A and B are shown apart, each in its own frame.
Chain A
Amino acid sequence: AQSVTQLGSHVSVSEGALVLLRCNYSSSVPPYLFWYVQYPNQGLQLLLKYTSAATLVKGINGFEAEFKKSETSFHLTKPSAHMSDAAEYFCAVRSQGGSEKLVFGKGTKLTVNP
């Protein structure tokens, strides 16, 4: 079975500060990993994905994440937060090949203070 743990249901940063959202996963098979963003009353938008190529993955809006197999982690970072980054962020895992089912974490709500 696969699972995702997002540490911190709420994260607050100042505008211009580093954003770090934590994600740890559990998977018995090689995983694909994803970060999605959700704005209020909206669907999910893909930020970035890891599909077993480069371990450092760059996504949209200046976000990036690093796959660390030894730590079973896929933390999301952005060097400088913008007000427009305020949203909820979800980490998700699925198997490489086989099932396309996504297993999501519970989400982290990011607040950006002026």
Chain B
Amino acid sequence: DAGVTQSPTHLIKTRGQQVTLRCSPKSGHDTVSWYQQALGQGPQFIFQYYEEEERQRGNFPDRFSGHQFPNYSSELNVNALLLGDSALYLCASSGGALNTEAFFGQGTRLTVV
């Protein structure tokens, strides 16, 4: 089992650009959540996808959008990048019979310059 995989691992973008981050969930999981972790902070919930729909959203602007594909993989898109978007972006998957815990990927480190 490969666990949760995210790509790319590191990314450098310029202010105003757009970025797409990708996540493949753990085998057997159907729910994907995205979190933003700024330096020195705990992860903050961005949104969650289930059955290809956004099920819940945190306090993030509309510049942050996502998608879930039929194979449960997911993308996070951020438009009009700001310097403050620099962070570690974490994907978590959950689901299955018990569904009491989330498994996290290694994250994508986004740097906006």
- The total of Cβ contacts below 8 Å across the A-B interface reads 57
Residues of chain B lying within 8 A (CB to CB) of residue A100? 31, 33, 48, 56, 94, 99, 102
Question: 0/1 per residue, B3-37, Cβ < 8 Å to A?
Answer: 01010000000000000000000000001010100
Q: Judge whether B71 is part of the interface by a CB distance below 8 angstroms.
A: no
- Please, which residues of chain B bring their CB within 8 A of the CB of A104? 42-44
Q: Which residues of B contact A92 (CB under 8 A)?
A: 42
A28: Cβ under 8 A from any B Cβ: no
* Interface bits A71-114 vs B (CB < 8 Å: 1, else 0): 00000000000000000001010000001111111110000000
A46 B56 Cβ-Cβ under 8 A:
no
Contact-residue size bin, chain A (C-beta under 8 Å from the other chain): 20 to 34
B105 with A43: CB separation less than 8 A: yes
With CB as the reference atom, state the residue of chain B lying closest to A100: B94
Minimum CB–CB distance from B54 to chain A (whole Å) comes to 12
CA distance A101 to B99 in the complex (A): 12
Chain A positions within 8 Å of B94 at CB level:
100
Tell me, in angstroms, the Cα distance from A44 to B107 when the chains sit together.
9
List A15-36 residues whose CB lies under 8 Å from chain B.
Answer: 32, 34, 36
User: What are 26 A-B residue pairs whose CB atoms fall within 8 Å in the complex?
Assistant: A4-B42, A36-B104, A42-B106, A42-B107, A43-B4, A43-B90, A43-B104, A44-B92, A44-B104, A46-B101, A46-B102, A46-B103, A49-B101, A51-B100, A99-B56, A100-B94, A100-B102, A101-B45, A101-B56, A102-B33, A102-B35, A102-B92, A102-B102, A104-B44, A107-B41, A107-B42
A contact residues vs B (CB 8 Å cutoff):
4, 32, 34, 36, 41-46, 49, 51, 90, 92, 99-107
Instruction: Given A46-B102, A49-B100, A90-B43, output 9 extra A-B contacts at Cβ < 8 Å.
Output: A34-B101, A42-B107, A43-B105, A43-B106, A44-B104, A100-B48, A100-B102, A102-B33, A107-B42
